[in-house]
Chain A
Amino acid sequence: MIDFLFFPGLLFSSVCGMLASFIDRKLTARIQWRKGPPLLQPLYDLVKLFGKETIIPAQASKALFLLLPLISVSAVALFAILNGVIVKSSVAPFSGDLFVAIYLMIVPAVCLILAAGISGNPLAIVGASREMKLVLSYELPFILALLVAVIKSHGEIVITGIMSYQAYTAPFLFSLSGALAFLAAIICLVAKLGLVPFDAAEAEQEIIAGVLVEYSGFSLAMFKLSKMMMLFVYPMFLIKLFWHNACGSVIGDVMVFALKYFVVLLIIVLIRNTNPRLRIDQSVKFFWTYVFGISLLAVIFAFIGL
């Protein structure tokens, strides 16, 4: 329970998520010649939303409408535990295998789709259909990319196992297949996080807030919080799978990890700021051809042993 609520679950990943969100916003602002928000802005945003009224649409199922944001946040928090502490591999004896991870990673997207569906707003439904198409298009390449880590560690599906394998040999990222898989996984991650160029589900200029258009107050804050937590937890997961090396001391490990995380975040921020939004049909095509191709290639290389 303490794992779930404090460390490395809800509280820790929320705080880190807000920090990540701040870095994302600040970097974005600097790229765009703006000043950017103060450090606590993500927190202010959430606190402001907590104080606002939550309006439930008349035709929506009340319980589900309020529950879905909470499910989304808990799923990410659970995923954070699974991911374990930064330094140690994981606290719980059940160190979590990739299948659980993959399921937990889909939960926020499913919550969004359901939430948009039951809110009954035509804009939200357009958003939901886009999100659904996006999930269908990025899941397969993403799973294929993760498969590379499994193949390279000779059939290890427990996250800690994959990490210790890398610690003994070398990070997978420094092999051809690992690098390709990492690239494909990062592109899928941008889509999972709902950032430009794959943010069609929330395209404000087209369908206002899309899936979230009927949400307000506490429930909206929960969805926003889960997005922020995802921004921290998901890249962390990828780093563990593909770019793990232990350097001995605890402080050193944390520093190295933070540096790696910053690099991955920087890549995501750069992708998001140097591209216009793709249409949903273009996104689907992109994932099913290019990203799928890269992942498949990575899997083949991994089998050959490159």
Chain B
Amino acid sequence: MSENEKDKKTTIIPIGPYHPLQEEPEFFELHVEGEKVIKLDITLGYNHRGIEKMAESMHYDQVAFLVERVCGICSASHPFAYVNAVEDLADIVIPDRAKYIRSIIGELERLHSHLLWLGLAGHFLGYNTVWMWAWKYREPVLDICERITGNRNHYAMFKIGGVRKDILNADIAGIWKMCDELIKPLEMFRGAVMDDPVIHARTKGVGILTKQEAIDWCLLGPTVRASGVAIDVRRDDPYAAYNMVDWKVIVTENGDVFDKAMVRILEMLESVKIIKGCLEGLKKTKEGEIDAKVKSIPAGEGIGRHEAPRGEVFHYVRGDGTNRPARHKIRAPSYMNVPSNQISAIGGTISDAAIVLAAVDPCYCCTERCAVIDTRTKKKILSGEDLVRLSQQRTKDIISGVWKPK
């Protein structure tokens, strides 16, 4: 530190590696003068798990399940991009019905991921009511996921050449109704964010990324669309059913936290529209045609992309003719988005930094496990099998319509 800098009396406020703001290990070092942030150091890499290397030791079908575990929230994005990559490598054409189902899963994930973000953003602003409400209305989305796939997260729906589970035509009406019920709370959130003067005061003009900055820093997803750059893999490089249904890319101009929230809320409404379009499409295709029956993967290279809730997920797969990838490379959107905090957080206060750091929706890739233990007898009350049984019972209840969300 030079003499000049010492005179300014900067203090370092650490956010991380473990901090109430970031549930995952990331380390932001805020250099502040009083409350004003003048510099930001970002340290990543606390959570290296060697997934790419593991992928090279598994056969192609197993990798789809492995990459699902990259992240608990975008657990459909990675297999989506991965199967796109392998299908690109092997020139596989998948049936229309599988395309629709893939898009439905992708959009359901966007819905629950954006609702999760909305809740967290409220929490970071100290607005815990929004947090709890957003997560309450996230539950019906997870119920739809459970009804279609059998799981709330980690759907295990994607396989090379198609999907693993069909949506029966008889179920479409029920799912349609569940989607309809989502629109009301989404509209409520839109109104709540647009009309609340205190939310405006906290988010408007905060953490601005200009269009040029957004392009210079190669940002992705809602982060860049809030700055007026209309990029979206779903439209620019259509895959699955995204060019077969009617929807539009949401773009706003100001690049502040408010616009990032608005983009996400409006995108959720678009997602519902896409899901409904896909459900319509399902009716036109034949039940059971969900798999291209792939036999072998040739040598070659493939690229797969998917517009995850946070931006473009990129997978590169190189095959050497064996049954496992010779090289597998993953690039997640947060990897591109997080460094932009170095410009957006500068000049604001610590309070602003808290919401600005969260506005790019950095991906939380930790999942919790639970064990219920009687402290007196040290016996497990719920074993792993019990939990599996409970969750299967709930799935059955949702499918049979017995389940009522509380």
Query: B133, A196: Cβ atoms under 8 Å?
Result: no
Contact of A282 with B128 at beta-carbon distance under 8 Å, contacts A33-B136, A276-B122 already known: no
Interface residues of B in 311-355 (CB under 8 A from A): 349-354
Contact of A206 with B132 at beta-carbon distance under 8 Å, contacts A129-B34, A276-B122 already known: no
| Complex-state Cα separation, A130 to B34, whole angstroms | 10
Contact of A205 with B20 at beta-carbon distance under 8 Å, contacts A33-B136, A196-B126, A280-B35 already known: yes
Closest beta carbon of chain B to A193's beta carbon, Å: 14
- For A31, the chain B residues whose CB sits under 8 A away are 129
Closest beta carbon of chain B to A184's beta carbon, Å: 18
Query: B126, A197: Cβ atoms under 8 Å?
Result: yes
| Complex-state Cα separation, A274 to B198, whole angstroms | 10
- For B168, the chain A residues whose CB sits under 8 A away are none
Contact of A126 with B13 at beta-carbon distance under 8 Å, contacts A33-B136, A205-B354, A276-B127 already known: yes
Contact of A32 with B349 at beta-carbon distance under 8 Å, contacts A196-B126, A280-B35 already known: no
Query: Cβ of A255 < 8 Å from any Cβ of B?
Result: no
Query: Cβ of B189 < 8 Å from any Cβ of A?
Result: no
Interface size class of B (residues with CB under 8 A): 20 to 34
Q: Which residue of B lies closest to A133 (CB)?
A: B35
Query: Cβ of B165 < 8 Å from any Cβ of A?
Result: no
Contact of A34 with B198 at beta-carbon distance under 8 Å, contacts A200-B351, A205-B123, A207-B350 already known: no
Query: Cβ of B124 < 8 Å from any Cβ of A?
Result: yes
Q: Mark A113-140, 1 if CB is under 8 A from B, else 0.
A: 0000000001101100110000000000
Query: Cβ of A199 < 8 Å from any Cβ of B?
Result: yes
- For A123, the chain B residues whose CB sits under 8 A away are 13
Closest beta carbon of chain B to A291's beta carbon, Å: 15
- For A200, the chain B residues whose CB sits under 8 A away are 351
Query: A277, B125: Cβ atoms under 8 Å?
Result: yes
Query: A34, B125: Cβ atoms under 8 Å?
Result: no
| Complex-state Cα separation, A197 to B202, whole angstroms | 11
Query: B349, A203: Cβ atoms under 8 Å?
Result: no
Query: Cβ of A208 < 8 Å from any Cβ of B?
Result: yes
Query: A122, B34: Cβ atoms under 8 Å?
Result: no
- For A34, the chain B residues whose CB sits under 8 A away are 132
Name A275's contact: one of B12, B132, B133, B198 (CB within 8 Å): B198
- For B196, the chain A residues whose CB sits under 8 A away are 276
Query: Cβ of B201 < 8 Å from any Cβ of A?
Result: yes
Query: Cβ of A45 < 8 Å from any Cβ of B?
Result: no
- For A275, the chain B residues whose CB sits under 8 A away are 127, 198
- For B202, the chain A residues whose CB sits under 8 A away are 276-279, 282
Q: Mark A185-225, 1 if CB is under 8 A from B, else 0.
A: 00000000000110110011111100000000000000000
Interface residues of A in 29-52 (CB under 8 A from B): 31-34
Interface residues of B in 175-220 (CB under 8 A from A): 196, 198-199, 201-202
**Most chain A CB neighbours (cut-off 10 Å) among B124, B125, B201, B351:** B351
Q: Which residue of A lies closest to B351 (CB)?
A: A279
Query: A281, B349: Cβ atoms under 8 Å?
Result: yes
- For B199, the chain A residues whose CB sits under 8 A away are 276
Q: Mark B345-387, 1 if CB is under 8 A from A, else 0.
A: 0000111111000000000000000000000000000000000
Contact of A33 with B132 at beta-carbon distance under 8 Å, contacts A129-B34, A205-B124 already known: yes
| Complex-state Cα separation, A129 to B34, whole angstroms | 9
Interface residues of B in 200-246 (CB under 8 A from A): 201-202
Query: Cβ of B19 < 8 Å from any Cβ of A?
Result: yes
Query: B351, A203: Cβ atoms under 8 Å?
Result: yes
Query: Cβ of A273 < 8 Å from any Cβ of B?
Result: yes
Interface residues of A in 253-291 (CB under 8 A from B): 273-282
- For A280, the chain B residues whose CB sits under 8 A away are 35, 349, 351
Query: Cβ of B62 < 8 Å from any Cβ of A?
Result: no
| Complex-state Cα separation, A292 to B220, whole angstroms | 45
List the count of A-B residue pairs having beta carbons below 8 Å apart: 83
- For B57, the chain A residues whose CB sits under 8 A away are none
Contact of A276 with B350 at beta-carbon distance under 8 Å, contacts A122-B11, A126-B35, A129-B34 already known: no
Q: Mark B106-136, 1 if CB is under 8 A from A, else 0.
A: 0000000000000000111111111111001
- For A273, the chain B residues whose CB sits under 8 A away are 128-129
- For B126, the chain A residues whose CB sits under 8 A away are 196-197, 199, 203, 205, 276-277
Query: B129, A206: Cβ atoms under 8 Å?
Result: no
Query: Cβ of B21 < 8 Å from any Cβ of A?
Result: yes
| Complex-state Cα separation, A173 to B133, whole angstroms | 35
- For B133, the chain A residues whose CB sits under 8 A away are 32-33
**Most chain B CB neighbours (cut-off 10 Å) among A196, A206, A279:** A206
Closest beta carbon of chain B to A293's beta carbon, Å: 16
Name A122's contact: one of B13, B125, B130, B351 (CB within 8 Å): B13
Closest beta carbon of chain B to A136's beta carbon, Å: 15
- For B13, the chain A residues whose CB sits under 8 A away are 122-123, 126, 207
Closest beta carbon of chain A to B49's beta carbon, Å: 27
| Complex-state Cα separation, A276 to B199, whole angstroms | 7
| Complex-state Cα separation, A205 to B352, whole angstroms | 11
| Complex-state Cα separation, A278 to B201, whole angstroms | 8
Closest beta carbon of chain B to A213's beta carbon, Å: 11
Contact of A197 with B198 at beta-carbon distance under 8 Å, contacts A203-B351, A281-B349 already known: yes
Query: B127, A206: Cβ atoms under 8 Å?
Result: no
Query: B349, A276: Cβ atoms under 8 Å?
Result: no
Closest beta carbon of chain A to B12's beta carbon, Å: 7
- For A28, the chain B residues whose CB sits under 8 A away are 128
Name B350's contact: one of A33, A126, A274 (CB within 8 Å): A126
Q: Which residue of B lies closest to A198 (CB)?
A: B126
Query: Which 9 A/B pairs are nearest by Cβ-Cβ distance?
Result: A277-B126, A32-B132, A276-B127, A276-B125, A206-B354, A279-B351, A273-B129, A205-B124, A33-B136
Binding site for B on A (CB under 8 A): 28, 31-34, 122-123, 125-126, 129-130, 196-197, 199-200, 203-208, 273-282
What are 19 A-to-B residue pairs whose CB atoms are below 8 Å? A33-B133, A123-B13, A125-B11, A126-B35, A129-B35, A196-B128, A205-B20, A205-B354, A206-B21, A208-B19, A275-B198, A276-B127, A276-B130, A276-B199, A277-B351, A278-B201, A279-B351, A280-B35, A282-B201
Binding site for A on B (CB under 8 A): 11-13, 19-21, 32, 34-35, 122-133, 136, 196, 198-199, 201-202, 349-354
Known pairs A273-B128, A276-B125, A279-B201 / 18 extra A-B pairs, C-beta < 8 Å:
A32-B132, A33-B132, A126-B350, A196-B126, A196-B128, A203-B354, A204-B20, A205-B21, A206-B353, A208-B19, A208-B20, A275-B127, A276-B130, A276-B196, A278-B198, A279-B202, A279-B352, A280-B349
